[in-house]
Amino acid sequence: MKKWFWYPVANIKNRFLFGAYGKDVYIEPGVVINRPRFVHVGNHVRIKRNTSINLHPKDKRSKEILFFIGDNVIISESCFISACNHLVIEENVGISPNVMIIDNSRKPGDISRPSKEQKVESGYVHIGADSWIAYGACVLPNVTIGRHCIIGALSVVNKDIPPYSVAVGSPAKVVKRFDLEKRTWVKVSNEEGADGLDEKKVGKPQ
């Protein structure tokens, strides 16, 4: 009774609240979206309960869309998504429970003031089509994840991931790649995989 009565009502209500709202969208109760006006939701999107989506635009009166969700995207339980500037999830992406995607973070700055009061630096996050982000992964700002990637469970992504690859660990490293000539998945050795993901660069303070 609850379900089939309230979802159409909520969908009609959401069509007015969101920046753009597709067909057949299913947002479960318990999802918290603080400023839905800045969200673009495509068709056939499902957002499961306890997910919180926080949007903190610089200009609150602007009409641009900060957080883009493509078609056929599923966002599972208790995810945390925070968008300040530019966050894109392309179509057919699956996001597992407990995943955290942020496009803004704090940088070490003035030591005389608490870091809570200092400015938050915002970047961008782009998650390519057909990807899968496994349980508990964390995607940090200024990251582009390519097409058809898999991000392993509980990994931290702080560098770009090339398309058609499997990345695990914290910080995430590419362990498998699709070889387009041989048409198979090939294992990447550590030295070879480190070219885009140099550990020294990762640890460097900014």
Partner 1 sequence: MRKGPWRFFRNFKNRLIFGHYGKNVYIDSRVRIVRPRFISIGDNVTISADTDIYVHPFDRDSKELIIQIGHNVHIGRNNIIGARKSVILEENVLIGPHVMIGDHSHGYEDIEIPIKFQETTEAGPVRIERDSWIGANVFILPNVTIGRHSVVGANSVVNRDIPPHSVAVGAPARVIKRYDFDLKEWVKVNG
Interacting residues with partner 1 (CB under 8 A): 49-50, 72, 74, 77-78, 92-94, 96-98, 129-132, 134-136, 148, 150, 152-155, 164, 166, 169-170, 178, 185
Shortest distance (Å) from residue 73 CB to partner 1 = 9
Q: Is 52 helix (H, G, I), strand (E, B) or coil?
A: strand
CB of 38 to partner 1, least distance (A): 25
Tell the smallest beta-carbon distance from residue 178 to partner 1 (Å): 6
Smallest gap from Cβ 117 to partner 1, in A, equals 29
Residue 70 or 141 having the CB closest to partner 1: 70
Taking the least distance from each CB to partner 1, the nearer of 41 and 55 is 41
Q: Taking the CA of residue 67 as centre, how many other CA atoms within 13 Å lie in the half-sphere pointing to its CB?
A: 23
As measured in angstroms, the least distance from the Cβ of 150 to partner 1 is: 5
Select 57 or 146, whichever has its Cβ closest to partner 1. Answer: 146
CA-based R_g, the chain, Å: 18
The three-class DSSP label of residue 113 is coil
Report the distance separating Cα 8 and Cα 31, nearest Å.
16
Nearer of residues 170 and 190 to partner 1, judged by Cβ: 170
Q: How far is the CB of 61 from partner 1 (least distance, A)?
A: 36
Distance CA 205, CA 50 (A): 34
- Give the C-alpha separation, 117 to 192, whole Å: 41
Contact 138, 168 (CB under 8 A): no
Judge whether 133 and 139 are in contact, CB under 8 Å. Answer: yes
Rounded-to-10 torsion of CA 160, 161, 163, 165 = 170
| Closer CB to partner 1, 124 or 132, in the complex | 132
Q: Considering beta carbons, is residue 77 or 121 the nearer one to partner 1?
A: 77
